[in-house]
A and B are shown apart, each in its own frame.
Chain A
C-alpha cells in the first residue's frame, strides 16, 4: 500500500519535471560571449528552437554578448546571470528598423515571456544614434530630424506589444537610443526589482506603460534622461487600467512620474504607492491628458520628492484630441513631502533638461483644466512642500487682478509642461478651471520671500481648505480666489 503511494508520487514528480521548462545554455547555439561576435542570428535561432520545443529558458553566463534585434517568442525565458551583458550593436542596420518601434529585444503577440537575472542589457544608444544620424546625413536613410536629431528608427532596448504574462525581473537596462522599455497593450505584466540607467541620448524615458491592463512596476530604480516612469495611451479605444507602481525610485531630466504626453484613451485605477523622486528637472508628478484621454480613480500615496524642479502638474489640454475632450476625475494625492530646488536640479547629468519658458520665476504646482472641461474631485491630503521663493517681479511679473489672470494663455493645444505658461501668479498652487478641489492638512513652506501669494484660484467651482498653513511668506494676502466658490469639506 505504502509502496504504491510512493510509486505514484515518484511518477507524479517526474511528470512535473517534464512539464517544467527546459534550460539551455547560450553556448549550445554557438552564441559567443567575447563582445565582438555579432550573435543576432544565433540568439534568434536559440529562441525559435526553444519556442518550437514548447518553451524553456535560454541562459547567458558572464560575458559580453553582442547582438542586434532579437524577437522573443511564446514560453521563452531569458536568464541573464550576473556578469552577462547583452550588448546592443552600434550598427543601425542590425535592428528591425522597418517596423515602427524597432528594439534590441522585441516581442509581439507573445505569451509567457521572461527576462530575468542580475545581468545587464546595454543598448549602446548614444553610438547607435550617432551612427543612425550619419546614415541620415549620408542620404541613405530618410528622416526629417527633430531638433537636429533622428526622429525615427532609434532602437528601444525592449519593446513588447500585445503580450501576455510578461515578467521582467532583476535586470539592469542601460543606454537606450530611445525610450528604454515599452509595454504596449500588454496584459498581466510584472516588472520587478530592475535598474534603469539611461542617459545615453534624447527621449530616454525610463519605462513606458502604454495602454496596459494589470501592470505592476515594483521595487525598481530608474534613472533616465527623459520621463522616468511614464504611463501613456496611444490608442483612443484602449487605456491603461489597474496599474500599480510601488516602492520605486525615479530620477529624471524631465518628469519623475508622468501620465502622458500622448493620452488618447486614458488611465483608470492607477495606484502609485511609496515612491521617491530626486534630482528631477521638471515635476515630481505630472498627470496630463491633452489628447482626449479619460483619467479617473488615481491614488498617489506616500511620495517623497527632493531636489525637484516642480511638485505637481495636473493638466487637461486639447492637442491631438480630434474633437474628444479629455477629463480628469477622482484624484487623491496624500502623504507627500516635496522639496523644490532653487538651482537646476539635474545639473551635471547627461542630457540635462532644457532651460526654457523664460523669463519665469520658480513655478508653483498647477492644476489647469479647460473652460469647458474642469479637472474634477482632486484631494490633496497631508502634504508638505518646500518652495525656494526668491522671485523677482522686475524679471517676470504676473499679478492677480482679473486682467492679469486673464492674461495667462489657455495654451490647450501646446505640449503640457509645468513651465508652459511662463510666469504664474502664485508661489504654491495655481488652480484654474477646476471643480471640487480639497486641501486637507497642507503645509507649504517658502524659503525666500516671494512677491506672489501662496494660492491662486481662478474659475474653481467648489474648493475647501482644511488645515492649510504656510510658513515663510510675510506681510501680504496669501490666498486669491477669483470667480471661485468655497464649499464645506
Chain B
C-alpha cells in the first residue's frame, strides 16, 4: 500500500515537473512578419515565469521582435517554419547589462531554446539603418551596432540551445559571459562576417553538431574559461572546429 502511495505521489510530482505549454498567440503574438511582438513576447515570458515556469511555443510564421529577456524555467520552442525576426531598428535593441542583443539572459537558469525554427538577425537591414542614422548624426558615433548579438547569456546556468538555424547576425550569435553549463547543439549558423560563439569566464560550455555555413570567426575564447568542449562541429569547408 505504502509503495502505491509513493508511486502516486511520484506520479503527481512528475506532473508538476512537466512544463506548462503556452502558445504565442495567447499573448497576442502575430506571425505576420510586420507586427513587432517584443511587448507580447516579454509579457509572455514574465507571465510564464510567474506561473512557475513552462514553455512558450512559436509555430510557423515570422515573428518580428526586438530585445526580450529570458527568465529562469521559461523555455522557448520554435517549431519548424517559425522565424523570430530581429527588428531592423537598432532602437528596438535595449541595452541590457551593457550589451545589446535580441535575446538576453542575465542571472537566469534552466532555460531551453529549441526546435527546428529560425532566428534571423536581419544583418543587412540593421546595418544600413545604423549607417543612415550615423550619417544624419542621429546616433552616438560610439554606438557599436556591430556588437548586437543574437543571444547574450550573462551569469546564467543550465542553458540549452538546440536545433535552431541562426541567420544574418551583426555581432556574435552567442555571447556567453560568466556562465556555467551551456550547451549549444545541432545549430545551423549562417552569418557572413559574424562571430559564432564568444565565450569568456565561463565553465562547461559544450558545442556539439554545430554547422557554420558562413561565419567570420566560429569561436572566440576569451580569458578565464574552463571546459569549452567541441564535438563534431564543422565549418563550411568540412573542417572540424
Chain A residues within CB distance 8 Å of chain B: 126, 130, 133, 137, 145, 147-149, 202, 350-352, 354-356, 358-359, 392-395
Query: Cβ of A354: which chain B residues have Cβ within 8 Å of it?
Result: 60-61, 80-83
Sorted nearest first, the 7 A-B pairs with minimum C-beta distance are: A354-B81, A394-B238, A147-B59, A148-B59, A148-B23, A148-B25, A354-B60
Identify which of B34, B61, B116 contacts A356 (C-beta below 8 A). B116
A251–B154 Cα distance when bound, in Å, is 45
Given contacts A356-B80, A358-B165, are A350 and B33 in contact (CB under 8 A)? yes
Chain A interface main SS type: loop
CB of B217 within 8 Å of the partner chain: no
Q: Is the interface of B mostly helix, strand, loop or mixed?
A: strand
**What are 27 A-B contacts with C-beta separation under 8 Å?**
A137-B26, A145-B23, A147-B61, A147-B79, A148-B31, A149-B59, A202-B31, A350-B32, A350-B33, A350-B34, A351-B31, A351-B32, A351-B61, A354-B60, A354-B80, A354-B82, A355-B81, A355-B165, A356-B116, A358-B188, A359-B211, A392-B236, A393-B238, A394-B236, A394-B237, A394-B238, A395-B236
Q: How long is the Cα–Cα vector from A352 to B188 in the complex, in angstroms?
A: 20
- 20 further contact pairs, Cβ within 8 A, besides A148-B57, A393-B238: A147-B59, A147-B60, A148-B31, A148-B58, A202-B31, A202-B60, A202-B61, A351-B61, A354-B80, A354-B82, A354-B83, A355-B81, A355-B165, A356-B81, A359-B188, A392-B213, A392-B236, A394-B211, A395-B213, A395-B236
List B88-106 residues whose CB lies under 8 Å from chain A: none
Closest to B32 in A: A350
Collect the chain A residues with CB atoms within 8 Å of residue B57's CB.
Answer: 148
Q: Which residue of chain A has its CB nearest to the CB of B58?
A: A148
Assembled-state Cα–Cα distance A354/B34 (Å): 16
Say whether B182 faces chain A, with CB atoms less than 8 Å apart: no
CB-CB nearest in chain B for A136: B25
Residues of B bordering A, CB below 8 Å:
23-26, 30-34, 57-62, 79-83, 116, 118, 165, 188, 211, 213, 234-238
Residues of B within 8 A of A137 (CB): 25-26
Which residue from chain A places its CB closest to the CB of B211 in the assembled complex? A395
Complex Cα–Cα for A202 and B57 (A): 18
Determine whether the beta carbon of A352 is less than 8 Å from that of B80. Answer: no
Of B24, B33, B211, which is within 8 A of A352 by CB? B33
Q: Report the nearest B residue to A353, measured CB to CB.
A: B81
B33 and A351 within 8 A (CB): yes
Q: In the complex, which residue of chain B has the Cβ closest to the Cβ of A396?
A: B211
Choose from B26, B31, B82, B234 the contact partner of A394 (Cβ within 8 Å). B234
Taking CB atoms, residues of chain B closer than 8 Å to A202 are 31, 60-61
Residues of A within 8 A of B26 (CB): 137
A residues less than 8 Å from B81 (CB atoms): 147, 354-356
Q: How many whole Å from A421's CB to the nearest CB in chain B?
A: 15
> Closest CB-CB distance, A192 to chain B, in whole Å?
32
Partner of A355, one of B31, B83, B211, B238: B83
Give bound CA distance, A350 to B35, whole Å.
11
Say whether B59 contacts A358, CB under 8 Å.
no
Which residues from B are CB-within-8-Å of A133? 25
- Name which of A126, A352, A355, A356 has the most chain B CB atoms within 10 A of its CB: A355
A392-B213, A394-B234 are contacts. A126–B32 as well, Cβ < 8 Å? yes
Q: How far is B30's CA from A400's CA once the two chains are assembled, in angstroms?
A: 43
Closest beta carbon of chain B to A27's beta carbon, Å: 37
Kindly list chain A residues whose C-beta atoms are within 8 Å of the C-beta of B24: 148
